[in-house]
Structure 1
Amino acid sequence: MQQSGNMVSGAWQGVTAPARYGSVRSVAMVVFALLTASSLLPTLLTPIPAMVDYVNHLTRMYILTRDGTANANPYYQAAWALYPNLAMDLVIPRLARVMSVEGAARLFLLLSQLSIISGALALEWAVKRRVHLAGFAALMFLYCLPFSWGFVNFECGLGIALWGIAAYLMLAERRWPLRFAINAAFVTALFTAHFFALGVYGATLGLYELWRSFDRKLRYRDAALRLVILAIPALALLIVMRSTAGSIGSEGNAWFFAFKPIWPFRIMNGYNMTVSAATALTLAAALYVAVKRGFLRLEPAGIWLAIGFALLYLAIPSKLLGTSFADLRLIPAAALILPSFCSLSLPDRRSTMAGLTITSGITLANLAVVLAVWLSYRADYAAIIESFGKIDHGAMVLIGSRGEEADPPFNDLTQYPMYYAPTLAVHYANAFVPNVFTEAGKQPIQPRAAVRRLDIPYGGPVPLRLLSAIAAGQLAPSDAPPFIRTWYRDYDYLYLLGPTVVNPLPDLLEEVDRSARFVLYRIRRAP
Structure 2
Amino acid sequence: MVSSDWQVVTARARPGSDRFVAIAVFSLLAAASLLPVLLTPIPAMVDYPNHLARMYILSQNGTPDANPYYEVAWALYPNLAMDLLVPQMARLLSVENATRLFLLLSQLLVVGGALVLERVVKGRVHIAGFAALMFLYCLPFTWGFVNFEFGLGVALWAIAAYLMVVEHAWPMRFVVNAVFVTALFAAHFFALGIYGATLGFYELWRAHDRKISYGDAALRLAILAIPVVVLFAVMRSTAGSIGSEGTIWHFEFKPIWLFRIMNGYNLTVSAATALGLMALVYFAARRGVLKLEPAGIWLATGFALLYLAIPSKLFGTSFADLRIIPAAALIIPAFCSLSLPDRRWTIAALTAVTGITLANLAVVFGVWLSYRADYASIIESFHKIDRGSLVLVGTSGEGEDPPFNDLTQYPMFYAPTLAVHYADAFVPNVFTEVGKQPVQARAAIRRLAIPYGGPMPIRVLTAIAAGQAPTDIPPFIRTWYRDYDYLYVLGPRVVNPLPDLLEELDGSARFVLYKVHRAP
TM-score by length of 1: 0.97
Alignment correspondent of 1:517? 510
SS of equivalent to 2:506: strand
Q: Which residue identity is paired with 2:284?
A: A
Q: Equivalent residues in 2 for 1:252-401 (5 A)?
A: 252-401=246-395
Q: Equivalent residues in 2 for 1:164-183 (5 A)?
A: 164-183=158-177
Distance in 1 between residues matched to 2:49 and 2:262, nearest whole Å: 21
CA contact (8 A) 1:252 1:322 kept: yes
Alpha-carbon distance change, 182 to 23 in structure 1, aligned in 2, over 3 angstroms = same
Aligned Cα root-mean-square deviation (Å)? 1.1
Distance in 2 between residues matched to 1:7 and 1:294, nearest whole Å: 16
Give 2:78's match in structure 1, choosing from 77, 80, 84: 84
Alignment correspondent of 2:498? 505
Distance in 1 between residues matched to 2:15 and 2:352, nearest whole Å: 20
Alpha-carbon distance change, 83 to 408 in structure 1, aligned in 2, over 3 angstroms = farther
Q: Equivalent residues in 2 for 1:138-217 (5 A)?
A: 138-217=132-211
C-alpha deviations, 1:51-80, integer Å up to 9, x for none?
Answer: 011110000000001111111101000010
SS of equivalent to 2:71: strand
CA contact (8 A) 2:6 2:293 kept: no
Distance in 2 between residues matched to 1:407 and 1:156, nearest whole Å: 26
Give 2:229's match in structure 1, choosing from 232, 235, 242: 235
Alignment correspondent of 1:117? 111
Aligned residues: 520
CA contact (8 A) 1:112 1:156 kept: yes
Matched, 1:482 2:475: yes
SS of equivalent to 1:398: strand
Alignment correspondent of 1:39? 33
Give 2:120's match in structure 1, choosing from 106, 117, 126: 126
Query: How far 1:405 sits from its partner (Å)?
Result: 4.2
Query: How far 1:406 sits from its partner (Å)?
Result: 4.8
CA contact (8 A) 2:400 2:456 kept: no
Distance in 2 between residues matched to 1:346 and 1:5, nearest whole Å: 23
Distance in 1 between residues matched to 2:455 and 2:265, nearest whole Å: 18
Alpha-carbon distance change, 445 to 21 in structure 1, aligned in 2, over 3 angstroms = same
Distance in 2 between residues matched to 1:260 and 1:402, nearest whole Å: 30
Query: How far 1:8 sits from its partner (Å)?
Result: 3.2
Query: How far 1:458 sits from its partner (Å)?
Result: 0.2
Alignment correspondent of 1:450? 444
SS of equivalent to 1:431: coil
C-alpha deviations, 1:256-284, integer Å up to 9, x for none?
Answer: 11111100100000010100000000000
Matched, 1:526 2:514: no
Please, which moves more after superposition, 31-40 or 461-470? 461-470
Distance in 2 between residues matched to 1:110 and 1:5, nearest whole Å: 35
CA contact (8 A) 1:494 1:520 kept: yes
CA contact (8 A) 1:7 1:343 kept: no
Q: Which residue identity is paired with 1:437?
A: F
Distance in 1 between residues matched to 2:515 and 2:358, nearest whole Å: 43
CA contact (8 A) 1:267 1:276 kept: yes
Distance in 2 between residues matched to 1:408 and 1:320, nearest whole Å: 23
TM-score by length of 2: 0.99
CA contact (8 A) 2:117 2:160 kept: yes
Give 1:50's match in structure 2, choosing from 24, 44, 65: 44
Distance in 2 between residues matched to 1:259 and 1:317, nearest whole Å: 11
CA contact (8 A) 2:400 2:454 kept: no
Q: Which residue identity is paired with 1:417?
A: P
Alignment correspondent of 1:246? 240
Query: How far 1:251 sits from its partner (Å)?
Result: 1.3
Distance in 2 between residues matched to 1:408 and 1:516, nearest whole Å: 15
Q: Percent identity between the aligned chains? A: 75
C-alpha deviations, 1:20-71, integer Å up to 9, x for none?
Answer: 4321111000000000000000000000000011110000000001111111
Please, which moves more after superposition, 488-497 or 501-510? 501-510
C-alpha deviations, 1:77-104, integer Å up to 9, x for none?
Answer: 0010000000000000011111100000
Alignment correspondent of 2:68? 74
Please list every run of at least 4 consecutive aligned residues from structure 1 whose deviation after the TM superposition is greater than 4 angstroms: 1-6
CA contact (8 A) 2:400 2:455 kept: no
Alpha-carbon distance change, 319 to 2 in structure 1, aligned in 2, over 3 angstroms = closer
CA contact (8 A) 1:7 1:128 kept: no
Distance in 1 between residues matched to 2:151 and 2:325, nearest whole Å: 15
Unaligned runs of at least 5 residues, structure 2: none
Query: How far 1:252 sits from its partner (Å)?
Result: 2.1
SS of equivalent to 1:52: coil
Alignment correspondent of 1:441? 435
Q: Which residue identity is paired with 1:501?
A: V
Matched, 1:59 2:64: no
C-alpha deviations, 1:341-370, integer Å up to 9, x for none?
Answer: 001111111011100000000000000001
CA contact (8 A) 1:409 1:416 kept: no
Query: How far 1:6 sits from its partner (Å)?
Result: 6.0
Alpha-carbon distance change, 316 to 391 in structure 1, aligned in 2, over 3 angstroms = same
Distance in 1 between residues matched to 2:435 and 2:242, nearest whole Å: 5
Alpha-carbon distance change, 162 to 268 in structure 1, aligned in 2, over 3 angstroms = same
Distance in 1 between residues matched to 2:402 and 2:346, nearest whole Å: 39
Query: How far 1:400 sits from its partner (Å)?
Result: 0.3
Alignment correspondent of 2:489? 496
Distance in 1 between residues matched to 2:473 and 2:166, nearest whole Å: 56
SS of equivalent to 2:513: strand
SS of equivalent to 1:40: helix
Distance in 2 between residues matched to 1:118 and 1:4, nearest whole Å: 23
